[in-house]
Structure 1
């Protein structure tokens, strides 16, 4: 019987619709917020400002802080310093995934409530109470900070989200697709089938996969035209909300496995990988996990979809395969050290991890 499952479902309040951001003052009143710190980026903030009229209300004292562009320990400490200097009692993060991660971790450090207003659909960071940490130079720390503080709200408007770069949306689709391929084999193990929350996690992962495989082409085409269609709305919500529920319901058994482990590894040890978005590297990671599991037929089934969305399938295809074998050694050692990889019900050793990496490169082709 599974007894140690930690269920963290999501924000206290969620709304994604036209005019949804107008609801934020009611949410701030629920938390008696008056001294608000708004953490934002650059271009995304310029696009978001027309939606943020409530900040001009005289009932609020507002401080603005532009983050460094990374979810880093340095960036979190900077926010903590601003909170103390301004006596802020609530934090609002406006931007993408790294900003959402940063705001969540900073709010955890200073013990404040926070809300997030996503400006794009590229991952489930706005939903989840965890932060993937990076250095200020963009190199991955190889570490994720988990905390118990959920966002007070996650609110956005499709009119804002559709104006984001399409590449981020496609990367979000790939990152969300990984929810199924990373959790499927783990959740099918007999000793895990008795948990109702894990059953919910698996069904949620199925929902994510089926919607992405069915609606992606239409949603991407609509986004390029600036048309807020049912498909675009549905996949946006799946990327930044529903995907977060998979790990929220399933804890470590449904959060991520080898696809994200190798993402973290190449982000840490291959600086050239920084040119690729999180979801693009995870897309390659899906193929790596499938290779590790020996599921070559599934890779064949996915290749047309990958080609349609221009998703990377191998390190050689990405142009970042390390010439120095010590880098490969470091990547393999890093992956093997991660508990989440060993949840996959197969034998995991440094030898099998290296063999799978090489086999995938050969299978996809090095040209």
Structure 2
């Protein structure tokens, strides 16, 4: 007997007046909401939301800081908070970490969750996955709610006024979606939902190459534009839909995960290097992880292409830009093997090969920074020389 599966897809409102849609969208879920989010996010966006709700019958009963880092202990405490228990709905407001925290809070409290991203730095506002961290700042594990947030209200004015670096890093994070999904699901006969996710992942890459430079320029000058909106939607919505369709780790039967691979294995392991990791944003590190993926996957021309975009946008192409000495690689490789992303490729995923891919990506980046054409060619040749030649048979 086949088990029944239920798939949830998020919905969203985008635009400069996105918050005006809140009363209509939330009408079936109640009339009171508690905002949980980042301090700065609530300071900047909550007044705009309250103004949009005035006289509509939807009331915000309180505003609560999420704690600064998504941690399970904090989520459990806030879920039991009388202010949360008394509200009909949870409004998660802020960046990815604040919103990820609200996913567990809402699930534990049994409340519907609506998200209000104040930055375009990742796809957290629409996904059914949350990244949680340990006290030392390193990645702990993933939280998998039963469903994604019901609706996300993406106010482009709020996002246009947010710190530029978060948007810049969001582009870096989004660049990983198509390569990681393709690599982790390659050569597999996928069932319906992850097959849709893989098809949609292809649509994530082109807008970033076509529009990111102009979008970043417009973001920095606070200029509304088609390019800026397209990249915001790519970072939050397109990649988020892919994430939901390619993640099903909690299934009793037929569990799968194709949402990430080598780039996030690098990021998750990198978070354990110490204080330096705290000075670099998630997507910033992931963007270098994409170069590692291209070296790992024997795609020298793709490595060249993605590195060129990184240079154009000011994203890192070397370990030095991430304050990561070669002496830290042994620890990174060790921690990477404990991540959910380890082994998600159709060939040998050995520690030695992973470390070599990091070195190869860094070597090309250093040659690129030096403007040394001969060294660039040599680095690309080394990528091919270090390739995995023995495929590893896999099945879903």
TM-score (norm. length: structure 2):
0.83
Q: What is the aligned-residue RMSD (CA, Å)?
A: 2.5
Match of residue 191 from structure 2: 195
Pairwise CA distance, 1:206? 1.6
Task: Report the count of equivalent residues.
Answer: 357
Per-residue CA distance 1:97-148 (angstroms, 9 max, x = gap):
11110101111122211111111111000010111011355x1233111121
SS at match of 1:115: strand
The aligned runs of 1:38-57 (5 Å cut-off) are 38-52=35-49, 53-54=51-52, 57=55
SS at match of 1:32: coil
Of 273, 276, 281, which aligns to 1:277? 281
TM-score (norm. length: structure 1):
0.89
C-alpha distance in 2 between matches for 1:215 and 1:228: 13
C-alpha distance in 2 between matches for 1:20 and 1:178: 28
Of 27, 30, 55, which aligns to 1:29? 27
Of 239, 242, 250, which aligns to 1:243? 239
| Structure 1 stretches lacking a partner, 5+ long | none
C-alpha distance in 2 between matches for 1:155 and 1:317: 34
C-alpha distance in 2 between matches for 1:153 and 1:361: 40
C-alpha distance in 2 between matches for 1:308 and 1:94: 31
> Structure 2 vs 1, CA of residues 149 and 351 (structure 1 numbering), >3 Å: closer, same or farther?
same
Match of residue 392 from structure 2: none
SS at match of 2:140: strand
Per-residue CA distance 1:193-227 (angstroms, 9 max, x = gap):
x5343342233222110110011111112222222
Greater helix share, 1 or 2? 1
Match of residue 391 from structure 2: none
C-alpha distance in 1 between matches for 2:365 and 2:326: 17
Larger RCO: 1 or 2 (CA < 8 Å, sep 6+)? 1
1:255 aligns with 2:259: yes
Which stretch shows the higher mean deviation, 14-23 or 53-62? 53-62
Match of residue 318 from structure 2: 314
| Structure 2 stretches lacking a partner, 5+ long | 248-255, 371-396
> Structure 2 vs 1, CA of residues 169 and 9 (structure 1 numbering), >3 Å: closer, same or farther?
farther
Q: Is the 8 A contact 2:160 2:224 kept in 1?
A: yes
The aligned runs of 1:43-82 (5 Å cut-off) are 43-52=40-49, 53-54=51-52, 57=55, 60=59, 62-82=61-81
SS at match of 1:142: strand
C-alpha distance in 1 between matches for 2:58 and 2:366: 61
Q: Is the 8 A contact 2:183 2:344 kept in 1?
A: no
Q: Is the 8 A contact 2:262 2:344 kept in 1?
A: no
C-alpha distance in 2 between matches for 1:9 and 1:306: 34
1:365 aligns with 2:366: yes
SS at match of 1:312: coil
1:305 aligns with 2:309: yes
C-alpha distance in 2 between matches for 1:30 and 1:298: 47
Q: Is the 8 A contact 1:256 1:340 kept in 2?
A: yes
> Structure 2 vs 1, CA of residues 276 and 319 (structure 1 numbering), >3 Å: closer, same or farther?
same
SS at match of 2:115: strand
Of 293, 302, 307, which aligns to 2:297? 293
> Structure 2 vs 1, CA of residues 184 and 59 (structure 1 numbering), >3 Å: closer, same or farther?
closer
